[in-house]
């Protein structure tokens, strides 16, 4: 059987959970995967952070220590090492309290101090600026920090995810700003690192705050026929299980309804309503070996009719973020298509945790090992960053490399009309392109534009989540 944690969403403790309860959740999480019984570093980091933040409150009114605890719990769900979790607990002490980096190093170790320093510097970067040079420079600094120790960005992703979870306590302007920044920078980073657990939740929360009406309408429609879909999923899972068990192959088979942002993108790209989209769910089959993957694929294609052109072999040709799986779309016995993913248990772990899955532990003595350089450079784009780091390139060149080689920014952007309609435009589009996407008459009569209620020049480059009002 696959590790239960890999099949669950990230831990999300209920609001107003006391810090002591959160600490228990954190320690229980770490004990579930860590071979060492000595969690004193984590307990000490909690006590230090609690003392340093004792006079601070979150916007929600909760004690500030709730935030670093929740960040650490997310990191423990990714099964990170003790130093990363300690740094997660301490990630705000240098910026927000009187504690110095030297004190962190003296109380813990240089590794924890380096991680805290890296996250502190990332927090100080303004990635939401409209100035290309400033954004390029700040992105360059982010990748420099990331190249030194990839755990810095993993902590930052956990930090951003918890901040998104608590955006309801921020002003409407701040909600949209943080959601847009998350969708444009942090979610693609999580994707490039292969950490789908963070990316999926981040996408859905960003949609919730950028377009609440779209989000809640989608949630209502997905929930409306949920029982019917779940019955159908259960029936297919049972059919597949019976055929695979007959072959003697050990398999874990589950079905899931796709997450909101994935459904939303499909609706936009295909210009369809939710009722017109059939493959709202996917079946996942996890087996022991690569040989079993292809054997199961053969069984599936005998059981159901495969749709031509919809088969992808990511085992033979892994994605740049190390993702491996077989994807096929088939037509069910009721005539409705659905997707099936087939992978090994190890591939599943990498698909869920990405680069975070590569923090290993020695069984003897329980000492921790950082991800080896060989494992890190399996990610082609990350190795390119490490090479780029050796050059003294200017910020504009770095930005060009980020866009072309890493594809950090999507090939298309999703923008909204004032009434909430979605427009899917090529990356680099301007308000003029947006106007003509509505109608040629709108483009011909255009004299200006507002983006997010602010007047912008017509050459302004649109970003994901922008609300555009043509004047």
Return the bridge partners of 252, or none. 286
In the DSSP assignment, the letter for residue 63 is B
Nearest to 201 by CA among 463, 466, 8: 8
Characterize the bridge pairing of strands 449-451 and 468-470: antiparallel
Catalytic: which of 21, 47, 95, 421? 95
DSSP one-letter string for 322-357:
----EEEEEE-TTS-EEEEEEEEHHHHHHHHHGGGG
Looking at 62, 96, 433, 469, which residue is catalytic?
A: 96
Tokens linked to 412 = 């298309």
DSSP letter string, 100-137:
-HHHHHHHS-HHHHHHHHHHHHHHT--TT-S-HHHHHH
**Does residue 220 carry a catalytic annotation?**
no
339 catalytic? Reply is: no
Look up residue 414 and give its two tokens: 């999703």
Type and span of the H or E element at 192:
helix 187-192
Residue 237 contacts residue 255 (beta carbons within 8 Å): yes
HSE on the CB side for 179, CA within 13 Å?
26
Q: 441: which residues sit within 8 A by CB, 6+ positions away? A: none
Q: Active-site positions?
A: 95-96
């Amino acid at each position: 059987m696959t590790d239960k944690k890999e099949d669950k969403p990230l831990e999300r403790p209920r609001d107003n959970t006391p810090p002591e309860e959160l600490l228990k959740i954190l320690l229980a999480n770490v004990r579930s995967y860590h071979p060492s019984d000595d969690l004193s570093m984590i307990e000490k980091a909690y006590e230090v952070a609690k003392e340093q933040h004792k006079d601070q409150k979150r916007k929600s009114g909760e004690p500030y220590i709730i935030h670093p605890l929740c960040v650490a719990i997310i990191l423990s769900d990714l099964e990170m090492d003790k130093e990363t979790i300690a740094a997660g607990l301490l990630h705000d002490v240098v910026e927000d309290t009187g504690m110095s980096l030297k004190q962190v190093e003296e109380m813990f170790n240089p590794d924890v101090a380096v991680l805290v320093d890296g996250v502190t510097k990332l927090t100080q970067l303004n990635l939401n600026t409209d100035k290309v040079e400033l954004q390029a420079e700040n992105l360059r600094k982010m990748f420099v920090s990331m190249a030194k120790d990839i755990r810095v960005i993993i902590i930052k992703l956990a930090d951003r995810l918890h901040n998104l979870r608590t955006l309801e306590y921020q002003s409407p302007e701040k909600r949209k700003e943080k959601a847009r920044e998350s969708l444009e920078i942090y979610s693609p980073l999580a994707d490039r690192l292969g950490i789908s657990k963070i990316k999926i939740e981040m996408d859905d929360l960003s949609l919730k705050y950028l377009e609440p009406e779209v989000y809640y309408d989608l949630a209502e429609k997905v929930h409306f026929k949920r029982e019917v879909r779940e019955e159908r999923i259960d029936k297919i899972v049972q059919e597949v299980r019976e055929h695979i068990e007959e072959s003697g192959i050990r398999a874990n088979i589950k079905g899931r309804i796709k997450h909101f942002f994935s459904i939303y993108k499909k609706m936009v790209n295909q210009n369809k309503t939710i009722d017109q989209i059939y493959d709202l769910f996917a079946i996942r089959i996890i087996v022991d070996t690569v040989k079993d993957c292809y054997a199961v694929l053969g069984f599936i294609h005998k059981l159901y009719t495969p749709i031509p052109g919809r088969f992808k072999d990511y085992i033979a040709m892994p994605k740049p973020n190390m993702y491996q799986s077989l994807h096929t779309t088939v037509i069910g016995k009721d005539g409705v298509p659905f997707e099936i993913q087939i992978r090994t248990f190890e591939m599943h772990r990498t698909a869920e945790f990405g680069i975070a899955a590569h923090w290993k532990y020695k069984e003897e003595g329980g000492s921790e090992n950082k991800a080896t350089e060989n494992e890190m450079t399996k990610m082609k784009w990350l190795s390119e960053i490490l090479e780029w780091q050796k050059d003294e390139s200017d910020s504009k060149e770095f930005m060009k490399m980020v866009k072309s080689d890493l594809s950090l920014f999507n090939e298309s952007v999703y923008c909204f009309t004032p009434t909430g309609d979605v427009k899917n435009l090529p990356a680099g589009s301007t308000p003029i392109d947006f106007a003509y996407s509505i109608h040629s008459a709108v483009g011909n009569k255009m004299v200006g534009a507002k983006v997010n209620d602010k007047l912008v020049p017509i050459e302004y480059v649109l970003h994901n989540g922008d609300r555009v009002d043509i004047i």
